Structure 1
Amino acid sequence: MTNMGKGFYISKAVGIVGIILGAGALATIIALSVVYSQEKAKNNVNPSPTDEGPTIRPTVTTPAPSNEPWDKYRLPTSLVPESYNVLLRPYLTPDETTELYIFTGNSTVEFVCVEETDLILIHSHKLNYSKLEDGKLATLISLNTAVKAPSIQSTMIQKVTQYLVIHLDGKLVKGQRYQLFTAFTGELADDLGGFYRSVYDEGGVKRVVATTQMQPTHARKAFPCFDEPAMKAVFNITLIHDIGTVALSNGEEKESSNININGKNLRRTVFEPTPKMSTYLLAFIISDFDFINNTIDNVLIRIFARKTAIAAGQGDYALNKTGPILNFFEKYYNSSYPLPKSDQIALPDFNAGAMENWGLITYRETALLYDEAYSSSSNKERIATIIAHELAHMWFGNLVTLRWWNDLWLNEGFASYVEYLGANEAEPDWNVTDLIVLSDVHRVFAVDALTSSHPLSSKEEDVQTPAQISELFDAISYSKGAAVLRMLSDFLTEAVFTKGLQAVNGTGTTLPDTVEKIMNTWVLQMGFPVITINTATGFVSQKHFLLDSSSNVTAESPYNYEWIVPIKWMKTGVTQTPEWLREKSATINAMKATEADWVLANLNVVGYYRVNYDTGNWNRLLSVLSTNHQLIPVINRAQLVDDAFNLARAQIIPTVLALNVTKYLINEREYMPWQSTLNNLDFFYLMFDRTKVYGPMQDYLRNQVTNLFRYYENITENWNKIPDGHMDQYNEVNAISLACRTGLDDCLTLAQTQFKQWMDSDINQIHPNLRSTIYCNAIAGGGAEEWEFAWKKFLNATIAIEADKLRSALACTKQPWLLNRYLEYTLNANMIRKQDATSTIVYIANNVVGQPLAWDFVRYGGGSFSFANLINGVTKRFSSQFELEQLEQFKKDNADVGFGSGTMAVDQSIERTIANIKWVKENEQHVLDWFKAETKSK
């Protein structure tokens, strides 16, 4: 799944058997690509999750200590499902009596008894069962006429562990097959999980879609099932739906006919059986959507969306790019796409970014629909990468699946890595593969440098409850997973990586150890090292990098926080032979440098670590940046900024050294170093935008960005055209954004003038690339009139991407009363969709005026929000003892109900606040003096 904020593969020609997908068997990462052909035949390995999204904050109840099987979260191993026949009828209008939207259905599951038992446990959550003719909630039959099925003695619902518990009056026989039938009713709620409803307005008419999100543990809300990824089965789905609506599921439509039920004419659609697959990959949808289609290499590709969106051509880009991306992955895995069709559907209400349901991928509208008149370059890139991420899962995750959620990172990390390769195939002119450094590597460094981080691979016994499973859908699983797989691919070479050989020697690469031994140091312990190189002596050492160097690491590590580190490097602009650091420290003579030479390590940031140098080498690097910065590769210029700022936050180098790295930016025109700088300056804004440092900081940054602003003003002919290059288009936005943020008059005038022209003429001529920053700055500089205009445009927006830009910009106002009112709107799904409530509150918290309002709202407000993202977002600015005490009190006040999947996020926020307090105390004066001195010298 693609997380909101952010699948895998294998090859068929090479033959290696017996892969164990578990912690420690890290050679699997390579060998996974090998298994596809065998698993294609057997298809009995377990499934993996897909797209991550905010999880709704649950109340966690722990069952009383018990040895009863139904009080344990994991299924017993006695029964294995083989197939399901599921019939469902969703009602797209509310029940007249209860006013609830509901669905009815029945299910027959065929299973094999592999261990004698007199108990059937099957997952079930929020389903009401109908009593059958014998008064029981289920019927059990044996498929062998010679073996009589025991009678059902009693049934009960275990709400905490989410089971339908069936006690039998005798034992099921080992090796025999049985069928269990149930009939049930469930609510088609608007909770974005299981079988749920999405509501939208089209042409003034309210329309309802019945759709699904099963990952990770929501299939049990749609029908009773063995809801664990290893419990793969074949699914036969039948949907009863209103005439005029379209029914979709994982399989192709087998037959569709009109039927009459209780005097009502309806449609009955039956789908082809699915391949053997996990419950979390199921999907079924009833809508009145339209579609466009194409057939490539005998695969039917269809894009579904609201009728007006399809009519406006918003599905065309996705349709055009899906074929080339599918073809790329077929070559990458050396295996044909395993299904006859690939449906992709854009939903008005969807919690994640997208979800890799086999053959029927679901998306947020903003992740699939593209409209040139409204979508920016970054919107377009997001669509290409998310499509690639989900299609990658069709093999890696869906065809071959992880046994249990503790190794989710293999699934999501792999998809998060190869999404860049797939998108690069679709858009080769973008150089999108470089952006993994900003979007994933740097992003996850921030989380993985905390003591509350966690290893990529968890122990199976530590991941039991639905809340614990949901917690794994985080930056570590996605972004660190992607980063370490990219590192592996680099030191093995991509050719070896894709062949999936457990390579040591004779593969074109020389490794210091087996792949398994190297990778286990990155997978089985949390965190990453900082590599320190003394160029005077050649002495190279590693140390666990922590943002707060004094924090206490309580988590044990099997490798004592040491890693086997691949080092790609250059000396004075010339690439050198790669080195390996296998111990805590070593002398590498090749890395000695004279005063005329400079050393730069971690070329193109392919390694998952930070780099520090002796003072002399830092000064030589600063000199190169100031005189001829292009001698250093562009990705490494971004790295020098990011490493320096974070080494300074960890008190490894002085903060003024990090600030000195930014001085060369007055001559920098490339996107990646500027974006890296802005990402790091965000921390300075968070820490100092309420202090005396703010003014001098603004003066310095305004001076640094003015050249960049003038450069884009010139090449765009006074903002009348867009730059040619993809990265240049991004950096134009950075130039305007920082120039306006620092109060450059010409920039503020630009924003206000363009927005005013829109207000006066009601014709929006602002280029989609620039809309987010123009809207934000115009609303920030305006008052109620500008806000109300944007709010009206938001309410009437029919394009989700445009609505998102406006929703973000509305949080930029400096008027507290407007921000408070906006917070209240997040509680009303008619104003702010549930899927957008969390991010809206975080947008408000990013505003220095809105942050205390958002924090009070979270503490004392209500509503179901994606709590991990929420608590992270509203506490980022916390840097005082008072704020720390508030946060600790908040944790204490809610100890009785808990935070579910947000528990880790609360602890991380407390840890981050403690580090912020310390950092501000130690750095405020130095930073103030530096900004003042630099401003005076101009």
Structure 2
Amino acid sequence: MGKGYYISKQLAVTAVLLAAVAVITIIALSIVYSKEKAKNELKLNNGTTSPASPTSPPSNEPWDKYRLPDTLSPQYYNVTLWPQLTMDSQGMYIFTGESGVAFTCVRETDLILIHCHKLNLTLFEGWHAKLMGMHNTEAPAIRKTWFQKETQYLVIQLEGTLKPEKVYWLYTEFRGELADDLEGFYRSEYEENGVKKVLAITQMQATSARKAFPCFDEPAMKAIFHITLIHEPGTVALSNSQDIDSENLKMNGHDVIRTRFEPTKRMSTYLVAFIVCEFTYTSKQKDNKDVMVRIWARKNAIEEGQGDYALNITQPILEFFEKYYNASYPLSKSDQIALPDFNAGAMENWGLVTYRETALLFDPQTSANGNKQRIATVVAHELAHMWFGNLVTLKWWNDLWLNEGFASYVEYLGADYAEPTWNMKDQIILYDIYRAFAVDSLVSSHPLSCKEEEVNTPAEISQMFNTISYSKGAAVLRMLSQFLTETVFAKGLSTYLNQFAFGSSTYSDLWDHLQNAADKTPHLKLPHRVHDIMNRWILQMGFPVITIDTQTGNVSQKHFLLEPNSVVERSSEFNYEWFIPIKWMKSGVEQEQLWLLQKSAMHKPLKPGKEEWVLANLNVSGYYRVNYDIENWKRLLDQLTTNHQKIPVINRAQILDDAFTLARASIINVTLALRMTKYLSMEREYIPWEAALRSLSSLYEVFDRNEVYGPMQAYLRKQVKPLFDHFTSVTANWTTVPAGHTDQFTQIIALSLACSTGVQECSDLTKGWFRQWMQDPEHNRIHPNLRSTVYCNAIAAGGVEEWDFCWKMFKKVTIAAEAVKLRSALSCTKQPWLLNRFLEYTLDPEKIRKQDATSVIGSIASNVVGQPLAWDFVRARWEYLFKVYGTGSFSFSRLISDVTARFCTPFELHQLKQFQKDNADVGFGSASQALQQAIEKTTARIKWLAENKEQVLKWFISETA
């Protein structure tokens, strides 16, 4: 899942279809749902409550365990679904269906457990399931069936036993609600040309396939899927595979189309996808040998060419990964579809990748350069999964990092291939490595790979979709590829994918193949085996800070914690020591790589001449931070202020980020970090400026409500003014944009920081541009790159007139990327009543889509005026927010992080702990870990502020006097 392989050209084995199981006519056009549904009680068709589970409270019975027993192995499914896109007489949208699964008995058993979400699926009245034997096998009779609510099983107890190596067929009929909950099989709504449209779509990852049909819903339980969709004339049906045929027929007096699809490859349930919609597509296929690529979206979006950019980059990215993995794309088609309502950024369903509209659609007239980059990276991320994740899948969710960390790393390689002038490979430090550092420096972090028993419930699984799995996973795999070399790394991946194609694996399997590739490379000398090196990075949380004493040549390592006195309760068999590859340079010249293999060691090359400086972690190739003796820090500072270009761009960012983070952890003096920013008045590159802003944001979070704020603003205004003047000159007074990709990002920083720190020329520009637009709403002449900054500053400087105009434009716009800019800008107002009104809008899906609600709350919280309002709002409505969004991954956990980002007082810490206590019964779901981290970060900020506020204030005053 985004922020969704290798096979030979052999034919997949086609599963034998049971003659006795023909496609049936699906009945029951409407369902009487009881009001008790909201109370989590399943109702059968006659209105009676389903049989109570015989095991309450939980016991040691198999049905009270979250993991399926190893007694059955699914082979293939036949699934037929009829989503009905018009409201029934009860005011609901429903789908009906039938599903059969052929499974092999592995060990003799008298019990069948299959996942089924009882709150979404209702089995038809009179029976729960039918069991038959296959290939002349006799099946035992069913003795009893029931739903097990907590573990989400349909439990089937048998009169006799299933026999090993025999194949059986389990058949069910069911119905469910096409809710707007963004999970399982759900509905999305949009308006096109004044007409409301409804579509039925899926999001199965991680544990929601069971909401669409009964299934063995674990990633290692791979099977082949035969999908059939019944849909209304005028709609199109899509699934993982190509459609085989479509047939017009009449069912229960309704004209319908029945579309059947080719059998899928052997795959996991969380990758199954099916969609019924009125979309259209744009496509590209050079010849019959090529993969058919189609970009699907709303008809107007496709007609306006919004799918063209994604279409143009998809084939090159697929070709890149085929070469990189040395493996052909394993499917005949690659459908990618942009959805109006989608909780994740994107999802790597095999052959049918789903996206938010902002992650796939690009309009040259209104979309910014940053929107294009996001599309390139997200498409590359999802296509990387077609091999790594889909073809070869993790055995269990405790190793989610193996899927997501890998895709998060190679997305930069794929995007770089598609857009070679963008300098994408370096940007990983901004968007993944530094993000990982921020979370992994807390004692509430966790290892990349947890023990299986630590990840059981759907909520625990959902929590694994976090910054550690994605961004730290990317960082350590990048480090591994750097010291192995990319060539050796790719060779190991190729043999790994070949061996485990259509199966499941663990990280140790990958280590085996990378080690074999290393062993076959004579010149490559590793200090230890890949297993020994990498297990220290994935089986213990956190990362090291290495300290280099250039006076002696001594280098040492220590587990880095933002609060050094924190107690680490999680034990580590490696005692929080790492094997650390050190790429480095001396006074601008790259040196031979070193390894730190113990707590400390003497490395004489690290003791340079008197006037020379040492810079470690060259190009930030390693996942660690670097500290130096004070003399080397001063020499680096001198180099920055005299000729900063002698230090590589990516390492200029590293120096700033390391210095500020070490200062936050009280390892170095904060004034040393602040002195590093003095050279910024001469800096013109994007990555160092972006790193500086992110580092300084931690100061804003603790100082924008006290007396430090004014002098800090004055200092930053002085530093950014030369950058603002530079772009005023090179863009003909802001009438053009720079040609360079990252230069366009730097231009945005110049405008944004200049306006936010009070540069008058900037304020005049943004207010003038916005006023011109208000006077002529049909012609927005503000360049798309600058719109987010202009909108926000104009709304902040204005009042209700500006806000209402922005809201009107937001409700009118049909381009998703432009809608995001406008929606975000609405959070910038300084009027509390407008912010409170906007918060209330998040409760109404007609005003703010459910997929965007938590983002809006977080955006309001980022406004110093809106932060306490958002915090009060979240506390007052936590039960509602948890019920609606609590199973989300990134979005819901990010909500807690956003509303507590400024917490730095004992009173706010008390509020946070009280919030945790008051809502213990409601729960925190996928935000549980984020809440713990918020408490830890608030505690650290309180301590740091008490120790550093006065000297920071004095430093800013002295620099602006």
Normalization by structure 2: what TM-score? 0.91
* Corresponding residue SS for 1:428: coil
Q: Distance in 1 between matches of 2:121 and 2:702?
A: 52
Cross-structure match for 2:29: none
Q: Unaligned regions of 5+ residues in structure 1, if any?
A: 11-35, 45-57
The answer as to whether partners of 2:14 and 2:263 remain within 8 angstroms in 1 is no
* Corresponding residue SS for 2:76: strand
Inter-CA distance 241–681: structure 2 relative to 1 (3 Å threshold): same
Question: What's the offset of the Cα at 1:63?
Answer: 7.0
Cross-structure match for 1:300: 292
The alignment status of 1:338 with 2:363, answered yes or no, reads: no
* Corresponding residue SS for 2:214: coil
* Corresponding residue SS for 2:220: coil
Q: 1:898 aligns with which of 904, 913, 923?
A: 923
Q: 1:283 aligns with which of 252, 255, 273?
A: 273
Q: Distance in 2 between matches of 1:633 and 1:41?
A: 50
Question: What's the offset of the Cα at 1:783?
Answer: 0.4
* Corresponding residue SS for 1:777: helix
Cross-structure match for 1:70: 63
Letter aligned with residue 422 of structure 1: G
Cross-structure match for 1:485: 477
The answer as to whether partners of 2:653 and 2:688 remain within 8 angstroms in 1 is yes
The answer as to whether partners of 1:248 and 1:286 remain within 8 angstroms in 2 is yes
Cross-structure match for 2:792: 776
Letter aligned with residue 57 of structure 2: A
The answer as to whether partners of 1:540 and 1:588 remain within 8 angstroms in 2 is yes
Letter aligned with residue 460 of structure 1: E
CA deviations 1:846-895 (Å, max 9, x no partner) are 00000000000000023323431111110000000000000000000111
Q: 2:203 aligns with which of 196, 213, 219?
A: 213
Q: Distance in 1 between matches of 2:469 and 2:719?
A: 37
The alignment status of 1:152 with 2:142, answered yes or no, reads: yes
Q: Distance in 1 between matches of 2:614 and 2:441?
A: 25
The alignment status of 1:410 with 2:435, answered yes or no, reads: no
Map 1:485-884 onto structure 2 (within 5 A): 485-500=477-492, 501-502=514-515, 503-504=518-519, 506-762=521-777, 763-861=779-877, 862-863=880-881, 864-865=884-885, 866-884=891-909
Question: What's the offset of the Cα at 1:129?
Answer: 3.9
Q: Distance in 2 between matches of 1:144 and 1:522?
A: 49
Map 1:68-217 onto structure 2 (within 5 A): 68-96=61-89, 98-125=90-117, 126-131=119-124, 135-145=126-136, 147-217=137-207
Question: What's the offset of the Cα at 1:911?
Answer: 0.3
Question: What's the offset of the Cα at 1:897?
Answer: 2.5
**Percent identical:** 63
Letter aligned with residue 681 of structure 2: I
Letter aligned with residue 928 of structure 2: T
Question: What's the offset of the Cα at 1:148?
Answer: 1.8
Q: Distance in 2 between matches of 1:192 and 1:592?
A: 58
Question: What's the offset of the Cα at 1:37?
Answer: 6.2
Question: What's the offset of the Cα at 1:355?
Answer: 0.3
Question: What's the offset of the Cα at 1:43?
Answer: 13
Q: Distance in 2 between matches of 1:42 and 1:934?
A: 73
Letter aligned with residue 824 of structure 2: S
Q: 1:428 aligns with which of 417, 420, 432?
A: 420
The answer as to whether partners of 1:43 and 1:399 remain within 8 angstroms in 2 is no
Question: What's the offset of the Cα at 1:602?
Answer: 0.4
CA deviations 1:69-114 (Å, max 9, x no partner) are 1111001111111010000000101111x21111000001111111
Q: Distance in 1 between matches of 2:441 and 2:520?
A: 34
The answer as to whether partners of 2:448 and 2:541 remain within 8 angstroms in 1 is yes
Cross-structure match for 1:919: 944
Q: 2:245 aligns with which of 245, 255, 274?
A: 255
Question: What's the offset of the Cα at 1:38?
Answer: 12
Letter aligned with residue 892 of structure 2: F
Letter aligned with residue 301 of structure 1: V
* Corresponding residue SS for 2:556: strand
The answer as to whether partners of 1:456 and 1:476 remain within 8 angstroms in 2 is yes
Q: Distance in 2 between matches of 1:901 and 1:723?
A: 42
* Corresponding residue SS for 2:140: coil
Letter aligned with residue 610 of structure 1: R
The answer as to whether partners of 2:184 and 2:209 remain within 8 angstroms in 1 is yes
Letter aligned with residue 250 of structure 2: N
Inter-CA distance 607–41: structure 2 relative to 1 (3 Å threshold): farther
Letter aligned with residue 642 of structure 1: D
The answer as to whether partners of 2:401 and 2:469 remain within 8 angstroms in 1 is yes
* Corresponding residue SS for 2:564: coil
Cross-structure match for 1:381: 373
Q: What's the C-alpha RMSD, in Å, of the aligned pairs?
A: 1.7
Letter aligned with residue 171 of structure 1: T
Letter aligned with residue 862 of structure 2: N
Q: Distance in 1 between matches of 2:11 and 2:595?
A: 38
Inter-CA distance 835–886: structure 2 relative to 1 (3 Å threshold): same
Letter aligned with residue 313 of structure 1: G
The answer as to whether partners of 1:84 and 1:107 remain within 8 angstroms in 2 is yes
Question: What's the offset of the Cα at 1:128?
Answer: 3.9
Cross-structure match for 2:257: 267
Letter aligned with residue 409 of structure 2: Y
Cross-structure match for 1:347: 339
Normalization by structure 1: what TM-score? 0.93
Q: Distance in 2 between matches of 1:174 and 1:40?
A: 28
The answer as to whether partners of 1:867 and 1:899 remain within 8 angstroms in 2 is no
Question: What's the offset of the Cα at 1:625?
Answer: 0.3
Letter aligned with residue 255 of structure 1: D
* Corresponding residue SS for 1:243: coil
Letter aligned with residue 66 of structure 2: Y
Letter aligned with residue 784 of structure 1: V
Q: Distance in 1 between matches of 2:658 and 2:350?
A: 40
CA deviations 1:771-800 (Å, max 9, x no partner) are 000000000000000000000000111001
The answer as to whether partners of 2:546 and 2:558 remain within 8 angstroms in 1 is yes
Question: What's the offset of the Cα at 1:233?
Answer: 0.5
CA deviations 1:19-54 (Å, max 9, x no partner) are xxxxxxxxxxxxxxxxx669998999xxxxxxxxxx
Inter-CA distance 40–568: structure 2 relative to 1 (3 Å threshold): farther
Question: What's the offset of the Cα at 1:144?
Answer: 2.9
The answer as to whether partners of 2:124 and 2:175 remain within 8 angstroms in 1 is no
Letter aligned with residue 212 of structure 1: T
Map 1:43-62 onto structure 2 (within 5 A): none
Q: Distance in 1 between matches of 2:786 and 2:132?
A: 64
* Corresponding residue SS for 1:635: helix
Q: Distance in 1 between matches of 2:457 and 2:476?
A: 27
The answer as to whether partners of 1:63 and 1:160 remain within 8 angstroms in 2 is no
Q: Distance in 2 between matches of 1:83 and 1:581?
A: 50
Q: Distance in 2 between matches of 1:331 and 1:774?
A: 43
Question: What's the offset of the Cα at 1:64?
Answer: 3.1
Cross-structure match for 2:357: 365
The answer as to whether partners of 1:819 and 1:844 remain within 8 angstroms in 2 is yes
CA deviations 1:797-830 (Å, max 9, x no partner) are 1001000000101000000000000000000000
The answer as to whether partners of 1:127 and 1:184 remain within 8 angstroms in 2 is no
